[in-house]
Structures are given as structure tokens and as C-alpha cells.
Chains A and B, each alone.
Chain A
Amino acid sequence: MQVTLIWATLAAILTLAVYSFLYKDNPFYKFAEHLVVGVSAAYYLVIYYYNFIDPNVISPIFKLEFGGAPIRILGMQWWMALIPGLLGLLLYARFFPKIGWVSRWALGIYVGGYSGLEIAPVMQARVLDQIRGGSLPLVVPHDPSTSFTNILLVVGLLGTLTYFFFSLKHKGVLGVLARIGIVYIMVGFGASFGYTVMSRISLLIGRVDFLRQVADSWIQWLAT
């Protein structure tokens, strides 16, 4: 018997154990759930260590090496590794009640830094590009189809933006526009729902096909 068939059989058994959840909670599902949670925790611990902690903290600070190249002790890159490393350590201060509050510094720098970095890309992708894409000619000479599409798009865009306007009550003209907006949103959700369900069904087909292949392999092995 091939080793791969043993592993594939194990995967097939675990797949069936997870699918047994569709009937009700049971010991097989519990076993599969605890196994995958435990294995993934260990797996991510190793991944994080080798992909992040070792190359970005341990190697630069203690081995004086960054990205395969040597670095100077007390040099810019050394400090660039040491300071975030210390901030990371501060997170563990929560285990010591007297100094637990210092862990908030690390969290504050982390959250604030990332929020700041997000501003320019978000402003470009969600505001500028939308403005540019929405500034469409409503009447395109000799092209009624494009004119219709542009009108449909602009009305939907204005309606949707109005729906997400929180500073005024949705009454009168604002209410009508917001109502149009929510209709557009729901039409979009419907399309997205159908599309995603289709992709989930294809995932299910893939998994069922995997079970069939394992069963086929067993039949062939028993026949020989």
C-alpha cells in the first residue's frame, strides 16, 4: 500500500468527520475540530517564528544579519529591529498586573501606525477612483446603450452614497434617493450571493471528487 493512500484515507476520514456536523454535533466532529485547532495553532506558531520573528527580530539583533546581508550593531537596521521587538515584548506586560498598562503603548503604536498607513491608499481607491469613475457623460451622442448604462450607474452611485449619509434623517428627496440606493445594494447582494454559492458548490464538488478518488484507489488496491 502506498504511503500517500494512507494519508489520503486519513484526510477522507477527517472530511467525513467534519461533514457529520451536518447531522448534529457528535464525537467525530469534536475530534476533527480539536485536531484542526490544535494542529493549526502549532503550525502558525512555527510559521510566525520562521517567517517573522526570526528574520525580523532574532537574526538582526543577535546574529547581526538582515535579509541575508550583514548589518552593524547599533546601526539603523539594528535599531529598526530592536524597537519593534521591544514593543512586541511590552504586550506580555499584561501578565504582570502592576505594569500591565504599558502593553497599551505597544497596542497604541501598532494600531495608530497601521491606521495612518492606510489613509493614502484608501483615499485613492475609495474616493478618488470612485469620483473619476462616476463622472460619466449622461448623454453619449449616437450611443443610447452607453447613455442608459451611464445613467443607471450614476443614479445608483448617488443613491448608495445617500443611503450611507448619517447626518440627516432619510426623509423627502433624501429618503427617495436612499430607497433607490438600498434597492441597488440588494440587487448587488443578490448577484454576489449567487456567484459565491456557485463557487462554494464547486468547492463541494471538489471535495466529493476527492472522496471518490480515495474510494477508487482503495478498490484498485484491493483488486490487485
Chain B
Amino acid sequence: MRTHSPLVGLALILALCAPVFGAEGETAPPAPGENAPPDPVTLLSARDYLDNNDNGDKIEVTWCLSADDGGGAGDVLEYRIRRSSGPGVAGEVVGTVPAGTTSFLDEGVEPGEAYYYDVAAFDGGSESAPAETGPVTGRRNFFQTSRLPVLVLAALFFAMVLTFTRLAQRGANLFVRRIPGLTAVEEAVGRATEMGRPVLYVPGIGEIDDIQTIASLTILSHVAKITAEYETPLIVPTARSVVMSAAEEVVKEAYAEAGHPDNYSPDNIRYLSDAQFAFAGAVSGIMLRERPAANLYLGAFWAESLLFAETGFETKAIQVAGTANVSQLPFFVTACDYTLIGEELYAASAYLSKEPKLLGSLKGSDWMKVVSIGIMVLGIVLSLFGVTGFAGWFFTQ
């Protein structure tokens, strides 16, 4: 491995990494390969590369450009990267990169094996003297250090959630403000009962792994209890088979809890289609033919949101919607009577159920917002005093 004294290294840094002044433009650059070999690269180093799915099979090689790349003779065409198993051993070319490039990711290394790398500048005719570095070993890393901020904030968040959950379990009175759209749900079901018409509950078209769908099923449980007590039919069309299974469980249990298990009708929990617009068409058909007096759209919605809301508006049903899909909220706000905006959907499920785990989550996320605001305000204050690196700590790969 070639080494330089600190002064030589400094001189090379100044020569290679600073702009080149002087003779630029005075003579025409020679044709590739006509001159002596290009100057070698400097500050060559190699390190174990860390990414999200780190398997120890990647090594990143970095260097500072040859003096003849962008300056000097200006004839460097590419850099050739060689990998070998020992110092001074002739290595195989594992990659080439064009002039002006200062890094290369070798994605074909064996985890745990020690390697040496050399990088040579090539001008079309000859190569520079190779600079060599090593040994370097690719390792399977258990922890990605650049994601430390995620771990710290997640740990803080879960500590708060667990604390509030424990408090709720012990009977502490955890205040949650009233969400206006929720009052409307009971009004809507009451109106449907008076009119002798069914209630339509659409839990969105998200899969069961979507948090919005899970929140929606919690609200469905509350709605099903009311419809069970009022003996009002409840229609739940779904676009996902697993969501249908979950909805069946939820509604059946709610009817049993309300003391009306016999009123539960499995035929009203319907799987229609996975295709977005086939589902939209079928739900629109239900609205027109079964004429529900209350339409509740709570969950994950996409482009079908306006089709539902407009058709429901045409049938003069009272409509309550809620979704965390920001792009669809404007349509619900426009065409529905009440709308739960974004996180209100999650808060609604906690508010209605009073379930300690949901209350703990809601409280935890509330205080996480306070922490976020505090950190932002600190970052803003520090930036007023010229300290700008603070926000950089939150940068993750």
C-alpha cells in the first residue's frame, strides 16, 4: 500500500480537490493516450457499506480524482477498480467508472473475506500507477447506525404509549376532546331508523394491514352496536376478502354485545370486488337500489371517494366520511355532511371504544407531537444563532 507523508498528502489534496488555475486554455489538450500515464488517484479508501438490507456483501471504494482528470493533461477517460486477496497481488477488474467519478460500490464480495482494492486512472492508452488500499471486510451488520434517530424517537413514543395505556388500565381519566363528526354518526343511524331504511358502512378499499382499515373496523363495531339496538339493517360492502372476514367478526360480536345476536345477517357483510372501480360501481348500485338513509365512509379511500359521495348525495342520504388519504379529503369535505379529517379517524376509534390500548396510543401520539414541536422550535432557535447542523441529526438513509 502506498503511503504519503502528511505534507505530501496535503499538497495532493490542494492540487487535486481545489480548482485548477494557470495554463487552462493556453494549449490544446493532447489526444488520449499520447502522453505519459495519467497521475494516480489519491486518498483512496474502502469501507464496509451499510444499507437497509445489509448482508455484508458490499464494499464502497472512494478516492480523490487524478490530477489529469479535469486538470493537468485532462485526458483521463475512466477509472478501473481492481479487487485482490492480498497486498501487491494482481487483482481482477471489478468495475470501471467514467472520469469525474469518485466512488464505486462493489456489490459482489463475500461477507467476512478480507480484500484489497486498487484504482487506476486510464487515458485510453495507459494506466496510472495504481493506488492500493486494504484490507477491508464486508460484514453483516445487525444495526444500521444512520437509523439511530428512528430508534430513539420510536423508543420514546412507545414509552409514552405504554405509560398512558397503563394509566388508562388503572382507571385514570384520560381526556380526549369531542370530535364533531362522531355526533353525526349517531344522528345518521337515528335518521335511518326513523325512515326505516338501512345504514351503509364502507370501510374503504385498503387491505387489513392498513391502519386506516383497522381504525375503521373499530368504529364499525360502535356503529354495529347502535344499529343492533335500533334494529336497523347494516350493510357493509368490502373490497378485500380478509377485510370482509374481519368485518363479519366485528359486526357479529357487536350484535352479540348489544344483546341482539339474532338480528345479525351475514348476507349484509358483502365482498364485491378487488377492482377499485368495479367496487365503486357496485356500491353505487347498492345506494340506488337499497336506498340507505345513512352512508358512512370511514377508512382508506382513493379515486372512488367522489363517486361514492356524489351518488350518496343524489340519494339524499346523510353522509359521514373520514380518511387519512389527504388527496381524497377535499372530495369528502365537499360532498358529505361531516368529515373526519386525517388523524381524527384514529382518534374517533379511541374516543368511541375507550379501549385503554387505543387511548394510550392516542395520548402517546399527542405527546409525540409536543416533542416534535419542541424539537422543531429548538432547531429554529438554534438556526437564529447560526447553528444549522441540528436538523442534520434527523437525516436518515
Write the residues of chain A forming the contact surface with B, with a CB cutoff of 8 angstroms: 18, 21, 25, 29-30, 32-33, 36-37, 39-41, 43-44, 91, 94, 103-104, 107, 110-111, 113-115, 118-120, 123-124, 127-132, 134-139, 154, 157-158, 161, 164-170, 185-186, 188-190, 192-193, 196, 200
Residue of B nearest to A39 (CB): B278
The answer to whether the Cβ of B208 comes within 8 Å of any Cβ in the partner chain is yes
User: B330 near A190 (CB under 8 angstroms)?
Assistant: yes
Residue of A nearest to B154 (CB): A123
User: A36 near B275 (CB under 8 angstroms)?
Assistant: yes
The answer to whether the Cβ of B248 comes within 8 Å of any Cβ in the partner chain is yes
User: A107 near B380 (CB under 8 angstroms)?
Assistant: no
| Complex Cα gap A103–B284 (Å) | 31
The answer to whether the Cβ of B333 comes within 8 Å of any Cβ in the partner chain is yes
For A107, what are the chain B residues with a Cβ–Cβ distance below 8 Å?
Answer: 208, 242, 245-246, 249
User: A166 near B176 (CB under 8 angstroms)?
Assistant: yes
Write the residues of chain B forming the contact surface with A, with a CB cutoff of 8 angstroms: 147, 149-150, 153-154, 157, 174-177, 179, 208-209, 211, 214, 242, 245-246, 248-249, 272-275, 277-279, 281-282, 284-285, 288-289, 306, 326-327, 329-331, 333-334, 341-344, 347, 351, 362-363, 366-370, 372-373, 375-376, 378-380, 383-384, 388, 390-392, 394-396
Partner of B384, one of A132, A134, A137, A188: A137
Known: A40-B273, A137-B383, A157-B376. A128 touches B209 (CB 8 A): no
For B289, what are the chain A residues with a Cβ–Cβ distance below 8 Å?
Answer: 25
Known: A33-B285, A167-B175. A192 touches B150 (CB 8 A): no
User: B372 near A130 (CB under 8 angstroms)?
Assistant: yes
| Complex Cα gap A135–B242 (Å) | 42
Partner of B383, one of A136, A157, A165: A136
| Complex Cα gap A24–B288 (Å) | 9
For the complex of A and B, 6 pairs with smallest distance between CB atoms: A135-B379, A114-B209, A40-B275, A193-B330, A137-B383, A135-B391
For B279, what are the chain A residues with a Cβ–Cβ distance below 8 Å?
Answer: 37
User: B278 near A25 (CB under 8 angstroms)?
Assistant: no
For A189, what are the chain B residues with a Cβ–Cβ distance below 8 Å?
Answer: 329-330, 333
User: B344 near A40 (CB under 8 angstroms)?
Assistant: no
For A104, what are the chain B residues with a Cβ–Cβ distance below 8 Å?
Answer: 249
| Complex Cα gap A115–B149 (Å) | 20
For A166, what are the chain B residues with a Cβ–Cβ distance below 8 Å?
Answer: 176-177, 179, 347, 351, 362, 366
User: B242 near A185 (CB under 8 angstroms)?
Assistant: no
For B288, what are the chain A residues with a Cβ–Cβ distance below 8 Å?
Answer: 25
For A39, what are the chain B residues with a Cβ–Cβ distance below 8 Å?
Answer: 278
Partner of A154, one of B285, B366, B380, B392: B380
User: A164 near B245 (CB under 8 angstroms)?
Assistant: no
For B390, what are the chain A residues with a Cβ–Cβ distance below 8 Å?
Answer: 135
For B274, what are the chain A residues with a Cβ–Cβ distance below 8 Å?
Answer: 40-41, 44
For B174, what are the chain A residues with a Cβ–Cβ distance below 8 Å?
Answer: 167
User: A111 near B383 (CB under 8 angstroms)?
Assistant: no
User: B208 near A167 (CB under 8 angstroms)?
Assistant: no
Distance in angstroms from A97 CB to nearest chain B CB is: 11
Distance in angstroms from A136 CB to nearest chain B CB is: 7
Distance in angstroms from B379 CB to nearest chain A CB is: 3
Residue of A nearest to B213 (CB): A111
Listed by A's residue number, 29 A-B pairs whose Cβ atoms lie within 8 Å are A36-B278, A37-B273, A37-B275, A41-B273, A91-B242, A91-B245, A107-B208, A111-B209, A113-B209, A119-B154, A120-B147, A123-B150, A128-B150, A131-B379, A132-B394, A132-B395, A136-B379, A157-B376, A158-B376, A161-B373, A164-B343, A164-B369, A166-B177, A166-B179, A167-B367, A168-B177, A189-B329, A192-B329, A193-B331
| Complex Cα gap A131–B289 (Å) | 49
Residue of B nearest to A138 (CB): B380
For B246, what are the chain A residues with a Cβ–Cβ distance below 8 Å?
Answer: 107
| Complex Cα gap A185–B341 (Å) | 9
| Complex Cα gap A25–B315 (Å) | 11
